[in-house]
Structure 1
Amino acid sequence: MSAHTARRRWRRPLLIAAVAASIAVPSVAVATDAPTSEPGARTAVQVLDDTYYKDAIGKTGPELKAALHTIISEQTKLSYDQVWDALRATDEDPNNSSNVILLYTGRSQSKTANGGDPDDWNREHVWAKSHGDFGTSTGPGTDVHHLRPTDVSVNSTRGSKDFDNGGEELGEAPGNFTDDDSFEPRDAVKGDVARMILYMAVRYDGEDGFADLEPNDEVSNGSAPNIGRLSVLKEWSAGDPPDDFEKRRNQVIFDDIQHNRNPFIDHPEWVGEIWK
């Protein structure tokens, strides 16, 4: 394990540009706490609390986690081949419907430029599939809440490393850092990464023949069903709250693909309620 001698203190930038400011989403509006123009109207999140999350409201700690697990486990499952088309919808560039936005580089790239060449994009398992040895099996291996389009070579650099602050900056992807045992994504997606990891920990708890996935405060977790560093992931979630792109992505998955939600996008405060 490295000593992280190059560790940096992450500071949220003064301005993080929203990737998507206004996108029409099928079925219902993107969940937001912004007030509506009609007096007495309820926000989309409040509506979800009355419907989708009603069995979780008022709970904390393990009870909240258990309730959310039951809620989000009701989902449509995809094959690994179906993930390609799913990502073309979930990660569409709001300014160019022919492109997707790549997670670590932020680059807008053609939806059809996917494959195995170094500058293609491929399917990144944010919860590394070797951490719990679930591979690309239908279930955690195909859950698009944690699968994102990424540059092939940057994906290779991240590999199966845990997440933490520190390391050397990637020349191909400025703002991302890595060392022997960890990877630090660019500031604009730190919260996204954290909330994807924590979604996986709630969704997959040892049922259906898959491992019980849990974050911990370690790095170099290897093939254990754990990813760290939890304390850093909590900081990232608090410092980079959900933006319009992340909210839209959650809604598209709910409306059109898996029909379940990442609760930490709708309720970021639940991170601290579960992992104190």
Structure 2
Amino acid sequence: MSIAQTGRRSRRIRGWRPLALATSAVLVGLALPAATASPAAATTTAYDDTYYEDAIGKTGPALKDSLHTIISDQTSISYSAVWNALKVTDQDPNNSGNVILLYSGKSRSKSLNGGDTGDWNREHVWAKSHGDFGTATGPGTDLHHLRPEDVQVNSIRGNKDFDNGGSPVSGASGSYTDSNSFEPRDAVKGDVARMILYMAVRYEGDDNWADLEPNDSVTNGTAPYHGRLSVLKQWNDEDPPSAFEEKRNEVIYDSYQGNRNPFIDHPEWVEAIW
């Protein structure tokens, strides 16, 4: 689900929340009611009795605090090391010489990493200016929110918050953008939500980095906030973790950082905290 976009989507309307319209017969100017998604169903994992032992059964701030303690036990890597790490974490399962680009879903040669047109670079899903952490070792190099993306598409996304609506993004079919927000393709909406919320739990201002938090704004600028929370929660519910996303979580845990994104293992914890 995280590596392919299927179907052509109808004209987007700001505030309309489902991942795909139920019908293509949308009348311009017609007020459509916002749909709601059911909260993610509770799950169990092989890590519940070990890695997540201190978090099981908790909700709200107690759950967030517990998860912060758990996932802060982390090995950090350098920004230069991120290049090679992404070639492993985001490898195309159908072509070992390629990586899958996040917003476009395209498969591109691992060797085309760089800053030129046609290359892929390191996209900070939690925009690095939101908290001003840059690319220094820490939140700026955390693989749980760094993904390969086409240089030009990455530039279009910039440091925008996430929300529904806008105009189609050139080079990233199914993605949309306007002056202050970016909407990724349906197949990775949940991935984006879980990466943003991981960052909000991992970085709480107690390790010389800013206290990162989600909010419901799309005008956060350089403040240590990212939005829009209400939309991210819905994306989490409507696009559950895929096999690609789950494998990526395992690779980061086993081979690089030694920590996990808890919202991939337990997407229901999003609602339990927020």
Question: Fold-level match, TM-score > 0.5?
Answer: yes
**Which blocks of at least 5 consecutive residues in structure 2 are unaligned?**
1-11, 22-40
Give the drift of 1:150.
0.2
In 1, the alpha carbon distance for the partners of 2:179 and 2:20 equals 26
What is the CA-CA distance between 1:6 and the residue it aligns to?
4.5
Q: Note the C-alpha offset of 1:8.
A: 6.0
Q: Distance in 2 between matches of 1:245 and 1:201?
A: 22
| AA at the equivalent of 1:159 | G
Deviations 1:181-224 (A, max 9, x none): 00000000000000000000000000221100000000110000
Q: Distance in 1 between matches of 2:125 and 2:132?
A: 14
What's 1:7 paired with? 14
Please tell me whether the aligned partners of residues 100 and 149 of structure 1 are also in contact (alpha carbons under 8 angstroms).
Answer: yes
TM-score, length of structure 2 as denominator length = 0.86
Correspondence 1:151-230 to 2 at 5 A: 151-230=150-229
RMSD of the TM alignment (CA)? Answer: 1.6
Runs of at least 4 residues off by over 2 Å: 8-14
Which residue does the alignment assign to 1:27?
none
Provide the rounded CA distance (Å) in 1 between the counterparts of 2:186 and 2:238. 9
1:173 shift after superposition? 1.2
Is contact 1:6-1:168 (8 Å) kept?
A: no
Identity %: 70
Contact 1:145 1:253 in 2 (8 A): yes
- Give yes or no for contact 2:162–2:182 (8 Å, CA) kept in 1: yes
Cα distance, 1:11 vs structure 2 = 2.9
- Unaligned 5+ residue runs, structure 1? 15-32, 34-42
Q: Does 1:73 align with 2:80?
A: no
User: What is the distance in 1 between the residues matched to 2:18 and 2:201?
Assistant: 27
Q: Distance in 1 between matches of 2:150 and 2:15?
A: 24
Which residue in 1 is equivalent to 2:57? 58
* Equivalent-residue separation in structure 1 for 2:45 and 2:174 (angstroms): 35
Which residues of 2 match residues 1-276 of structure 1 at below 5 A? Answer: 6-7=13-14, 9-13=16-20, 45-275=44-274
Contact 1:7–1:165 (CA under 8 A) maintained in structure 2: yes
User: Do 2:198 and 2:263's aligned partners in 1 also have CA atoms closer than 8 Å?
Assistant: yes
**Deviation, structure 1 residue 170:** 1.2
Whether the 8 Å CA contact 2:190–2:240 is kept in 1: the answer is yes
Q: Is the 8 A contact 1:215 1:229 kept in 2?
A: yes
Within 2, Cα distance between the matches of 1:13 and 1:248?
26
Is the Cα contact below 8 Å between 2:127 and 2:158 reproduced in 1? Answer: yes
Distance 2:205 2:118 in 1: 36
